[in-house]
Structure 1
Amino acid sequence: MHSQITNIVVSKNDTIFKALELLDLYALRIVLVVDDKNHLLGSVTDGDIRRGLLKGCGIYSSIEIIMHKSPYFVEEGTLTNRQIFEIMREKRYLALPITKNGVLTNIVTLDDLIRKKRKENPVFIMAGGFGTRLRPLTDKCPKPMLPVGGKPLLETIISSFKEQGFYKFYISTHYLPEVIHEHFGDGEKFGIQINYVHETDPLGTGGALSLLPKTDIDLPFIVINGDVLTNMNFEKLIDFHNKNNAVATMCVREFQYQIPYGVVNSDQNIIQSMTEKPSYFFDINTGIYVISPKLLSQVKAEFIGMPTILEQQIEKKQIVSSYPLHEYWLDIGHIEDYNRAQRDIVNLDFGKY
């Protein structure tokens, strides 16, 4: 929740005087009225207060008397930051409430949107795979271009980065590259920059790094598989990588594995203990990385996976950090995953950062 939201929220039983105080203190031109379960009931502006006073209301009267009972709000996840910005500019709002099923969850301010800085860190998307486990869907369509929620998965991935200020993209292609080229072009129509690197022969997630223009990349860059759906905060990931002074960072996610049987521990055929269907927890690779520029010069044009490259760096005593990913994440590797993505995409918010 936005840190300023608690500063401008009142109860319908609060007084007009309190609303005046908040309007004066926080200069957002609006106070939001909620019930005890945080449902948005109304809003109050200085104009509402002025009209109420002219009608004879006292400053210690209930705020419910003057509040606007149909306030303008945005349902969470329905609009991009750009669309919200256009609404606020047109209506001259300084702040706009965000709700989910009627419950106030956030507030976006015009200052937030204006101050969002473009991120100079490039993004490298691996989109060259054959997607064999998703056949026949991928017989004539590369996996990253399969529709999820009415548009290609790759477009959703790019949009999630764009909403967070990233605009420099490299896309690695191999299988049916013309489908990707035709849809995205150089990225201009999407308000971004796209450069393509083509794998004549498959190079794997690690070997594809060798195709990047080393002299053009002087900042840590994000690498992400083209079949990953997530709404994670990529800026925090970059900050974490820099703070650890790492040569590479791998995003990991906790995975629970439950053995479907009772486990028996014995010593010389004497049972010591038994555990019924125990669960074990592991950190798994999410297919999202941050790579420092100095690593690029060490990658050769050969088939190699990213984990192998990171293992080589660990052997060289270089810092390879792990970043715990707690937000939504889905690796679309099988038909069941693809079907789940179609269901999940409806409620995902990619523009909240």
Structure 2
Amino acid sequence: MTRKAEHTGPKMNDLKIDLKSVMFSPSAPIRDAAKALDGAGTGALALCHDDGKLVGMLSDGDLRRAVLNGHSLEDACIAIACTRPVIASSPATAAYALQVMNQFDIHQLPVVDEGGVLVDFLLRKDVVEEYQLEVESRDRLRRVCISAQASIADAMAQLNEAGTGALVVCDSENKLRGLIADGDIRRAVIRRIPLSAPCESIATQKPVFASEPISPSDALHMMNEHDIHQLPLVDGEGRIVDFLLRKDLLPQTLPDMQAVVMAGGYGKRLLPLTEKVPKPMLPVGERPLLELIIQQLRKAGIHDVNLTTHYLPESISGHFGNGEHFGVRLNYSREESPLGTAGGLRLMPRPQGPFLVINGDILTGVPFQQMLQYHRAHGAMLTVGVRKYDLQVPFGVVDCDDVRITKIEEKPCHSYFVNAGTYMLEPAAWDRIPEDRRFDMTDLISALLEAGETVVGFPIMEYWIDVGRHEDYVKAQELVSKGAL
């Protein structure tokens, strides 16, 4: 008789073991079993009849004890096997399988169907991995589910914590009501929708979803078909049970994107600090400002970086070299005379695809890969990172019609979007930059707009500091000392 562990629950996602490699005839000699065990690499074999019924377990320890006890290697292996192994009935959850293995101090657990036929063979290492995935899945659900009545501001904070690129909007019964993505929030900011509005008002009301169970290949097919990166899974009642990410199903391949850091400025507003040190090389904490920027690019998967230099270029190239020690490949474009915030781009070879441009005095948490997705989704020639800026008027503002007062508003606050010094460009935008003369990014944007090209704004909701003034430099130092950057 075997010891059966009763349980209920969903089965584990995948069979980790090829059953043919562990199934072995109970009447085969011990000698053959030793060879089979060595080939399987599982530490044990499942002894089964021809119909697949499990009759025993033969472990490496059983073989060693048989040799010590003088058994002939020609004896049937069932003679030395455990004929009452611990088993589990199908389906078996990873959590339950791990509990059983811990309880009986075993490293293999056969799983059988109602007729006692072997249907799975679990190893502790695989179960631990699967259990961790189950825990991560439950934790992810906790992080991605948000109430339909929660505010857009709440969704912003939760999305930042979840790191999934989207949240699932649910009702009180955890039923799927919609999907709110990073792009939905950024478009709401652009449209100046109040952040106090319910997040359901900007969510996709009929998102693509799937019913469980679904195979990884089918899930990936759905994501490819609908060009999405997240796929909610629901049960028969429409309740959210899982949230799949494309990166879980497919090794993450980041677009081959390069970046340009405009590092040629004088930094006159930071004198006397920049008298002998270019602004990008000013220390922020224990490292130069430019090193923090390059670190942020590397974390985003960008490894080809161009630096445009002008003022004291040797102090930059002498510190970074070819970039090998900083995890990137660096190329330098030296401006003999200042070419503005865009002109220096023509000193580098024409990019083959979308490329990022960032000013060399910007510290930011902008998700550059999401910015690229946003850029592509809107078919933009150029995407400008924009930052919301509130201007508080310290007086009551009066509207007059001739001498008559028509309206008075006490200390109004006006909101604007300001250029945040971060851009995503198409190669065709690079073509519009003239050679060998000063040309600013504002000139390029104006030229593209006049030509009817699409230029869009990407709202930056993450941290952003323009280290251009003494007070900003002090603020950056404080944030680094607190570990906030």
With structure 2 as the length reference, what TM-score do the two structures score? 0.51
Q: What letter corresponds to residue 399 of structure 2 in structure 1?
A: N
* RCO comparison, higher one (Cα < 8 Å, 6+): 1
Q: How far apart, CA to CA, are the structure 2 residues paired with 1:338 and 1:22? A: 55
> How far is 1:118 from its partner?
4.2
Can you list the C-alpha shifts for 1:50-104, whole angstroms capped at 9, x where unaligned?
576249xxxxxxxxxxxxxxxxxxxxxxxxxxxxxxxxxxxx996798xxxxxx9
CA contact under 8 A between 1:23 and 1:46: conserved in structure 2? no
Distance 1:107 1:250, change over 3 A: closer
- Name which of structure 1's ranges 157-166 and 44-53 shifts more when overlaid on structure 2: 44-53
Would you say 1:267 and 2:317 are equivalent positions?
no
Would you say 1:342 and 2:477 are equivalent positions?
yes
Distance 1:272 1:170, change over 3 A: same
Q: What residue in structure 2 maps to residue 333 of structure 1? A: 468
Distance 1:23 1:348, change over 3 A: farther
Q: What letter corresponds to residue 103 of structure 2 in structure 1?
A: L
CA contact under 8 A between 2:356 and 2:425: conserved in structure 1? yes
Q: What residue in structure 2 maps to residue 122 of structure 1? A: 258
Q: How far apart, CA to CA, are the structure 1 residues paired with 2:477 and 2:315? A: 21
Instruction: Map 1:14-33 to 2 at 5 A.
Output: 24=12
Q: What residue in structure 1 maps to residue 281 of structure 2? A: 145
Match of 1:219, SS?
coil
Distance 1:197 1:48, change over 3 A: same
Q: What residue in structure 2 maps to residue 234 of structure 1? A: 368
Q: What residue in structure 2 maps to residue 291 of structure 1? A: 425
Q: What letter corresponds to residue 302 of structure 1 in structure 2?
A: R
CA contact under 8 A between 2:361 and 2:467: conserved in structure 1? yes
Q: How far apart, CA to CA, are the structure 2 residues paired with 1:195 and 1:221? A: 14
Match of 1:115, SS?
coil
CA contact under 8 A between 1:128 and 1:199: conserved in structure 2? yes
CA contact under 8 A between 2:284 and 2:477: conserved in structure 1? yes
> How far is 1:25 from its partner?
5.7
Distance 1:189 1:311, change over 3 A: same
CA contact under 8 A between 2:433 and 2:439: conserved in structure 1? no
Q: What residue in structure 2 maps to residue 173 of structure 1? A: 309
Can you list the C-alpha shifts for 1:153-206, whole angstroms capped at 9, x where unaligned?
111111111111110100000011111101111111222111000010000111
Q: Paired residue for 1:209, among 322, 345, 368?
A: 345
Q: What residue in structure 2 maps to residue 195 of structure 1? A: 331
Match of 1:282, SS?
strand
Q: Paired residue for 2:437, among 302, 314, 319?
A: 302
Q: How far apart, CA to CA, are the structure 2 residues paired with 1:142 and 1:226? A: 10
How large is the RMSD of aligned CA atoms in angstroms? Answer: 3.3
Would you say 1:250 and 2:300 are equivalent positions?
no
> How far is 1:296 from its partner?
1.8
Q: What residue in structure 1 maps to residue 359 of structure 2? A: 225
Distance 1:187 1:47, change over 3 A: farther
Q: What residue in structure 2 maps to residue 324 of structure 1? A: 459
Q: What residue in structure 1 maps to residue 412 of structure 2? A: 278
Q: What letter corresponds to residue 484 of structure 2 in structure 1?
A: L
Q: Which runs of 5+ in 1 are unaligned?
A: 1-16, 28-43, 56-91, 98-103
CA contact under 8 A between 2:432 and 2:444: conserved in structure 1? no
Q: How far apart, CA to CA, are the structure 2 residues paired with 1:348 and 1:24? A: 40
CA contact under 8 A between 1:117 and 1:165: conserved in structure 2? no
With structure 1 as the length reference, what TM-score do the two structures score? 0.69
CA contact under 8 A between 1:116 and 1:165: conserved in structure 2? no
> How far is 1:297 from its partner?
2.2
Distance 1:155 1:23, change over 3 A: farther
> How far is 1:117 from its partner?
2.7
Distance 1:26 1:190, change over 3 A: farther
Q: Which runs of 5+ in 2 are unaligned?
A: 1-5, 16-93, 106-128, 137-142, 144-160, 165-244
Q: What letter corresponds to residue 193 of structure 1 in structure 2?
A: R
Tell me the matched-pair count.
Answer: 275
Q: What letter corresponds to residue 243 of structure 1 in structure 2?
A: A
Distance 1:25 1:293, change over 3 A: same
Q: How far apart, CA to CA, are the structure 1 residues paired with 2:342 and 2:334? A: 14
Q: How far apart, CA to CA, are the structure 2 residues paired with 1:152 and 1:24? A: 49
Q: What letter corresponds to residue 320 of structure 1 in structure 2?
A: V
The percent of aligned pairs where both chains have the same amino acid is 35
Q: What residue in structure 2 maps to residue 83 of structure 1? A: none
Distance 1:276 1:294, change over 3 A: same
Match of 2:461, SS?
coil
CA contact under 8 A between 1:124 and 1:169: conserved in structure 2? yes
> How far is 1:347 from its partner?
3.9
CA contact under 8 A between 1:118 and 1:167: conserved in structure 2? no
Q: How far apart, CA to CA, are the structure 2 residues paired with 1:151 and 1:50? A: 51
Q: How far apart, CA to CA, are the structure 2 residues paired with 1:118 and 1:22? A: 34
CA contact under 8 A between 1:231 and 1:348: conserved in structure 2? no
Can you list the C-alpha shifts for 1:195-245, whole angstroms capped at 9, x where unaligned?
00001000011111211212xx11010000000011111011111112222
